[in-house]
Chains A and B, each alone.
Chain A
Amino acid sequence: GQNIDQPTEMTATEGAIVQINCTYQTSGFNGLFWYQQHAGEAPTFLSYNVLDGLEEKGRFSSFLSRSKGYSYLLLKELQMKDSASYLCAVRDRRGKLQFGAGTQVVVTP
């Protein structure tokens, strides 16, 4: 089975940086995803990591360490529109994608 842990909530000010950590345990790792979900909307894809290291996409970066079962999502130059829930998800060898409970990020002026 899979177990995915991430903090429940984080608060940061506009323009700041926030790092959302995700730890996981899985039987057969086949990729880690980050999704963003605004209130009342569907989740949307942010990033994908399957090899160790950092993937950068504009203001968002995601890091993976497979040996530690650890990932983080880094949000830089925070904007008010970044207030949302950020979901860490792990795919196993059979293609099953399981999500963590999500981290609610609150951006304050």
Chain B
Amino acid sequence: KAGVTQTPRYLIKTRGQQVTLSCSPISGHRSVSWYQQTPGQGLQFLFEYFSETQRNKGNFPGRFSGRQFSNSRSEMNVSTLELGDSALYLCASSLGQTGPFSGANVLTFGAGSRLTVL
């Protein structure tokens, strides 16, 4: 069973540019979550998509957006890049259940996309 695939793995952009990152979840997983990881802040939740709808959102500015396609693949976009956006962006997929005692509903993470903004 293939894991979570993120592309590209590494990219370098300059301030003001925009970037699109892609995530292909594990087959059968309908939920995709995005996290930003930096040495100082740890893993910060960006948003979660389930069945093409944004179900949860973190506290990031509107420059950060995402979407999910009918095949559950997801993209996130960051516009008007700032130096502080340099980070590892991690995508994670899961079955997506949320009810009480719905089980572990474990997130499986991809290897990440490392973005450097110059």
Contact = CB atoms under 8 A, between A and B. Distances in A.
Contacts of A102: 42-43
Contact of A42 (B96, B106, B109): B109
A50 B98 contact: no
B111 A41 contact: yes
Contacts, number: 60
A94 B48 CA distance: 11
A96 B108 contact: no
B70 interface: no
B5 to A, nearest CB: 12
Interface string A81-105: 0000001010101111111111000
A97 B100 contact: no
Given A94-B98, A95-B48, A96-B48, A101 B42 contact: yes
Contacts of B100: 30, 93
A100 B110 contact: no
Interface in B17-49: 31, 33, 35, 41-45, 48
A18 to B, nearest CB: 19
B74 to A, nearest CB: 16
A44 B109 contact: yes
B112 A42 contact: yes
A7 interface: no
A33 B103 CA distance: 11
Contacts of B31: 95
23 contacts: A30-B98, A30-B100, A33-B106, A33-B107, A42-B111, A43-B109, A44-B109, A48-B106, A50-B101, A95-B31, A95-B55, A95-B97, A95-B98, A95-B105, A96-B45, A99-B35, A99-B42, A99-B44, A99-B45, A100-B42, A101-B41, A101-B42, A102-B42
Task: Please give me the 10 A-B residue pairs with the lowest Cβ-Cβ distance, nearest first.
Answer: A95-B98, A101-B42, A42-B109, A99-B43, A48-B104, A96-B56, A45-B106, A43-B109, A42-B111, A102-B42
